[in-house]
Amino acid sequence: MIENRPIITFLSHLFLIFGILIIAFPIWITFVAATHDAVRMVQIPLPLLPGDQFFENLKETLTRGMKGASAPPVGFMLLNSLIMAMMIAVGKIAISLLSAFAIVYFRFPFRMAFFWMIFITLMLPVEVRILPTFEVVANLGMLNSYWGLSIPLIASATATFMFRQVFLTIPDELLEAARIDGAGPLRFFRDILIPLSRTNIAALFVILFIYGWNQYLWPLLITTDQSMYTVVMGIKQMLDAAEQSPDWHLIMMTSLLAMLPPVLVVVLMQSLFVKGLTETEK
């Protein structure tokens, strides 16, 4: 900051705090709703300060779920979400590392063809090819399975591109030194490339975990069996049920639980998150 004008600085802080309040207000309301019982949650106006039912509500959502909503207990859905998010994140990282390695470090026929094929996938989010993809998954018998939930979302060009970028910045001399030291391709990959890409892998993991956890349309389509529901889509089932009996305290508790893991990941691994975000988008 150039000039020392306390008033402007004060106003800046004021505006920032005001901004944070606007951004955080919906979450506060969610939290408050999750701490009251069903009776309080139908009296107008709804409370603005927390009540004392937090742990009761927590227990009920985690173990029983919501009456009338066609969804399993939230604890169960959280586990499904976790498995799906992990499979997507780990799977994407694994196949992207391998293909980026091949494209950067080998010269072989059809190299560019493969590169373009991967590039094209960057252009097609699952939403726009949803019907035929659903058919493929149905024909492969992958409906209502973790594989069906994760594998179609695993291939994406962004991760491959990022690793390609990372590999290109690694000096050629390291490969030459490794070859003189007697390391073959796989050994070089394991001993040099992977350790050198560690922070990029971690940053990407943060982004992909959030991406996987927050998937909605795809799980909604391919899971009909309640035991495969993820928590993000479970919310929708609860909202539908809320048309009849609005158990907002339970819905909001579930929302809170559903957003907690990714939000924690972002807040606790902030620097990795920022790194991942800026690197995958450029």
Partner 1 sequence: MADIELSNVKKSYGATDVIHGIDWHIADGEFVVIVGPSGCGKSTLLRMIAGLERITQGDIAIGGQVVNKLEPADRDIAMVFQNYALYPHMTVYKNMAYSLKIRGVGKQEIDRRVKQVAEILEIGDYLRRAPRQLSGGQRQRVAMGRAIVREPSVFLFDEPLSNLDAKLRVQMRLEIKRLQERLGITSVYVTHDQVEAMTLGHRLMVLNNGHVEQLGTPIDLYENPATQFVAGFIGSPSMNFLDATMGERGQSVNFAADASLGLSGDYSDHEGKTVTVGLRPEHLEIADPSQPHTSLNVQVVEHLGADTLVHGAFSQDALELTVRLKGVQSFSRNEVIPLSISPQNVHLFDKTTGQRL
Partner 2 sequence: MLKRVHFGPSALPYLLVAPQIIITLIFFIWPASQALYQSLLIQDAFGLSTEFVWFENFKELFTDEHYFGAFKRTIIFSFSVAALSMGFALTLAAMADRVIKGATTYRTLLIWPYAVAPVLAGALWVFMLDPTLGIFTYMLGSFGYEWNHKLNGNEAMLLVIFASAWKQVAYNFLFFLAGMQAIPKSLIEAAAIDGAGPVRRFITIVFPLISPTTFFLLVLNVVYAFFETFGIVHTVTQGGPAKATEILVYKVFNDGFIGLDLGGSAAQSVILMLIVIVLTVVQFRYVERKVEYT
- Identify residues 249-268 at the interface with partner 2 (CB under 8 A): 251-252, 255, 258-259, 262-263, 265-267
Residue 6 binding target from partner 1, partner 2, none, CB below 5 to 8 Å by type = none
Contacts of 170 (CB under 8 A, 6+ apart): 192, 193, 196
- Contact segment (CB under 8 A) with partner 1 among 152-160, 187-195, 205-213, 258-266 equals 187-195
Piece of 49-57, 60-68, 192-200, 269-277 that binds partner 2 (CB under 8 A):
269-277
Residue 79 CA to residue 94 CA, distance in Å, equals: 22
Q: Residue 182 interacts with partner 1 (CB under 8 A)?
A: yes
Query: Which residue in this structure is represented by tokens 């726009």?
Result: 128
Among 59, 120, 187, 224, binds partner 2 (CB under 8 A): 120
Which stretch in 49-57, 72-80, 82-90, 164-172 sits in contact with partner 2 by CB under 8 A? 164-172
Please report how close the Cβ of residue 123 comes to partner 1 at its closest, in angstroms: 35
Q: How far is the CB of 280 from partner 1 (least distance, A)?
A: 23
Token pair, residue 12, equals 């800046």
Least distance between partner 2 and beta carbon 153 (Å) = 8
Shortest distance in whole angstroms from residue 199 CB to partner 1: 11
Contact 65, 48 (CB under 8 A): no
- Per-residue x/- marks for partner 1, 194-213, CB under 8 A? -xx-x---------------
Q: Kindly state whether residue 187 participates in binding partner 1, applying the rule CB under 8 A.
A: yes
CB atoms closer than 10 angstroms to residue 151: 16
Q: Which of 264, 222, 230 is nearest to 85 (CA)?
A: 230
The reply on whether position 180 binds partner 1 by CB under 8 A is: yes
Look at residues 149, 263, 269, 147 and name the one whose alpha carbon lies nearest to residue 204: 269
Q: Which does 96 bind (CB under 5 to 8 A by kind): partner 2, partner 1, none?
A: partner 2
143 touches, from partner 1, partner 2, none (C-beta below 5 to 8 Å by class): none
173: contact with partner 1 by CB under 8 A: yes
Query: In angstroms, rounded to a whole number, what is the distance separating the alpha carbons of residues 42 and 211?
Result: 34
CB 222 within 8 A of CB 143: yes
Nearer to partner 1, 123 or 180 (CB): 180
Longest Cα–Cα distance of the chain, Å, equals 76
Question: Of 176, 216, 217, 263, which one interacts with partner 1 (CB under 8 A)?
Answer: 176
Segment interacting with partner 1 (CB under 8 A) among 37-45, 77-85, 98-106, 189-197: 189-197
The alpha carbon of 246 is separated from its chain's Cα centroid by a whole number of angstroms, namely: 28
Q: Which helix (H) or strand (E) holds 209?
A: helix 198-213
Contact 232, 215 (CB under 8 A): yes
Identity at 263, one-letter amino acid code: V
| CA dihedral of residues 268, 273, 275, 281 (deg, nearest 10) | -170
Q: Which does 187 bind (CB under 5 to 8 A by kind): partner 2, partner 1, none?
A: partner 1
**Under the rule (CB under 8 A), what is the footprint of partner 1?**
171, 173-174, 176-183, 187, 191-192, 195-196, 198
